[in-house]
Amino acid sequence: MLVDLNADMGEGFGAWRMGDDAALIPLLSSVNVACGYHAGDAEIMARTVAQAKAAGCEVGAHIGLPDLIGFGRRRMNIEGRSFTSHVLYQLGALHAIATAAGHKVTHLSFHGALGDMAAADDELAATLVGAVAQFNRTLVISTSPGTKTMAAAQALGMRCVGIFAADRAYGADGKLVPRRQKMSVITDPDEIGRRVQRLITDQTVATIDGTSLPMPARTLMIHSDTSDAVAAATAIREAVESTGSDIVAMSRLPPLDRN
């Protein structure tokens, strides 16, 4: 089996840093790059693209709400149609920076509150994914399995891939347990490794309640702000290898219907 190992990178702004991108990127196969709306700025984007390229990682656009103070985590009552242009703006900005660096944008995902809103709203999902399709129909869209975003991508015939948050607990409803709850973040690398093994062999995950949840996911995500993301990524790599699977970049994953 082929899986992708991915994290949100370039989440600083100006003089501010978040996470240790330089240490983590060499362990990944693809990275999501913040595009200046919720985090990131043009210089950080360029640096992140250069780091990704040097490490053989593919880059994708991490598209967010225009809310630097709130890190794109606060829902805003955007009007979907007008937000189309904001999706294109972020995507194009990264495209030009990647092109100038001799690299290429291969995928994208929606960050934070924007991602949550699209996941549950047919119309918003169709609008956002439609904006992407207007620019580049070959981009891979990564999102949690079962979201409206995935349905919208499939309806448009675009490639998409399910995300498994390797360092986060899931509820029985298939959603991430909110960060403010106890046990929502998994920090033990061994535990993370076991979850990845199970995902690959079984396509399931144990929920926080102990039930088994189907998880048709091929991109394994870790969060750079999780304590010791490097250890987590290393554990994931070992777990993947132990199953005889391979880590490849996002665009090299098989199409979803052959998962």
Residue 252 interacts with a copy of itself (CB under 8 A): yes or no: no
Using CB under 8 A, pick the residue from 10, 19, 36, 162 that binds a copy of itself: 36
Q: Looking at beta carbons only, is 78 or 248 nearer to a copy of itself?
A: 78
Q: Are the C-beta atoms of residues 59 and 31 closer than 8 Å to each other?
A: yes
Interface stretch with a copy of itself, choices 15-23, 139-147, 169-177, 226-234 (CB under 8 A): 15-23
Torsion sign across C-alpha atoms 195, 198, 203, 205: negative
Using CB under 8 A, pick the residue from 1, 26, 75, 228 that binds a copy of itself: 75
Give the alpha-carbon dihedral of 94, 247, 145, 231, to 10 degrees. Answer: -90
Residue 131 interacts with a copy of itself (CB under 8 A): yes or no: yes
**Calpha distance 204→40 (Å, rounded):** 34
Reduced to 3 states (helix: H, G, I; strand: E, B; else coil), residue 124 is helix
Q: Are the C-beta atoms of residues 84 and 127 closer than 8 Å to each other?
A: yes
Q: Are the C-beta atoms of residues 189 and 231 closer than 8 Å to each other?
A: yes
Least CB distance to a copy of itself at residue 12 (A): 7
Site residues (CB under 8 A) for a copy of itself, limited to 138-177:
none
Q: Looking at beta carbons only, is 93 or 152 nearer to a copy of itself?
A: 93
Given the rule CB under 8 A, which residues bind a copy of itself? 12-18, 36, 39, 41-43, 45-46, 66-71, 74-78, 82, 84-86, 88-97, 99-101, 113, 131, 134-135
